A and B are shown apart, each in its own frame.
Chain A
Amino acid sequence: MVVARELKRPLLELRQLAFGFDGNGVGDEKIRQQMISVADMAIRQVNDLAKMERLASGGFEMGPVAVRALCDDVISEISELFDGKKGEMTVRYSNRSRLVVANPELLSSVVYNFLLNAANYTDEEMKTELRIKEASGMVEINVRDFGPSLPFDVWQEVKGNLMTPRDIAMRPGSSALGLYIASKFSKYMNAEVGAVRHRDGASFFVKIPVPHQINMWGN
């Protein structure tokens, strides 16, 4: 039910966007691009749900993944959403290991869902930060949003939603489904997923181990 409600949101948006076509062509291209962007996002969500089903059967192979290139691809895909918000996304890479052991499809979904969550909840004209750093043999991908500060009880809900999707009172239209998906995919890849509360937003991160052999070849 919670998932159905979240998947309804893009349909409501597409319906409203369609009303914007007034026949004289003014602004039609912008609306068309927005409709494609909303539809792409919804398709991603449905694909991720389908992937959840495949997790149980172990249908995702693990292998070396170029983590910066993967993040660059996701940023490119999601950048229109940030343009629409007039927000700014900054990217900082400081990892020495270029490769991690992961499944590219799943890791791409994890990063996408973190960024989508940030795009939804960062304030307009505020920035979102994506950082890749390395510590203790792990590469960490960290996405920080600058939204309204969340009260502690709501924060507990957000953290809880890394485990199970349910309605979050102060994050409208969201069951934190994306965060739940990111959490599931991370666990499949033996990665660690977590969240940090800030006074002006939240960070979500995934830490992916870098096995010794990969580290040698990756540097």
Chain B
Amino acid sequence: MILVVDSDEVFGKCILETLKKNGFDGHLSNNAIVAINDISEEAPSLVFLDPILTGPDGFTFLNEMASYADTLDVPIVIVSEKDFSGFDLSEYNVVGVLDKNKIKPKETLSYAREYA
């Protein structure tokens, strides 16, 4: 299962639809609390995350992911308007950063095919 965490639900659903149309099983969480509950039910194989979330931010979610053995190694792809290129995100197992201003479905699918 691929988890998409995005408070912009229109955007999140677009990513989810792209994944589903291409045969991937996915789920959308619209805030960190919901996402944390979701990963406790089923560990995802890959996460697309916009860290700028309603309520607690995405780093709350990333810290939660990093604190459990079953989610520690789950690859994370950051999808955001903000520029995270200068951040050291390696401790969160971030495998890629996508710019929301330019993202195309083939980029999303590329990560899904490699990691999910």
Contacts and interface: CB of A to CB of B under 8 A. Distances in A.
Contacts of A123: 30-31, 34
A85 B28 CA distance: 11
Nearest to B57: A170
B10 A16 contact: yes
Nearest to A148: B55
What class of interface size applies to chain A in its complex with B? 20 to 34
A166 to B, nearest CB: 15
Contacts of A13: 8, 10-11, 14
A170 B55 contact: yes
A173 B53 CA distance: 9
Interface stretch (B39-47, B65-73, B89-97, B100-108): B100-108
Interface in A118-158: 120-121, 123-124, 147-150
- Between A16, A19, A34, A123, the greatest number of chain B beta carbons within 10 A of the residue's beta carbon is seen for A16
A5 to B, nearest CB: 8
Contacts of A84: 9-10
Nearest to A119: B9
B10 A172 contact: no
Interface residue tally on B, bucketed by range? 20 to 34
Nearest to B10: A13
Contacts of A170: 53-57
A27 interface: yes
Nearest to A173: B8
B38 to A, nearest CB: 11
Contacts of B103: 16
A13 B54 CA distance: 17
A20 interface: yes
Contacts of B31: 123, 147-148
Nearest to A154: B55
A9 B103 CA distance: 14
A150 to B, nearest CB: 8
Contacts of B50: 172
A127 to B, nearest CB: 15
Contacts of B52: 172-173
B10 A124 contact: no
Nearest to B108: A19
B17 A27 contact: yes
Interface of B: 7-11, 14-15, 17-18, 21, 30-31, 33-34, 50, 52-57, 81, 100-101, 103-105
Given A8-B81, A12-B8, A150-B55, 9 more contacts: A13-B8, A16-B10, A17-B14, A19-B18, A124-B34, A147-B54, A170-B54, A170-B57, A172-B8
14 contacts: A9-B8, A12-B8, A12-B81, A12-B100, A121-B54, A123-B30, A124-B30, A147-B54, A148-B31, A148-B54, A170-B55, A171-B54, A172-B8, A172-B52
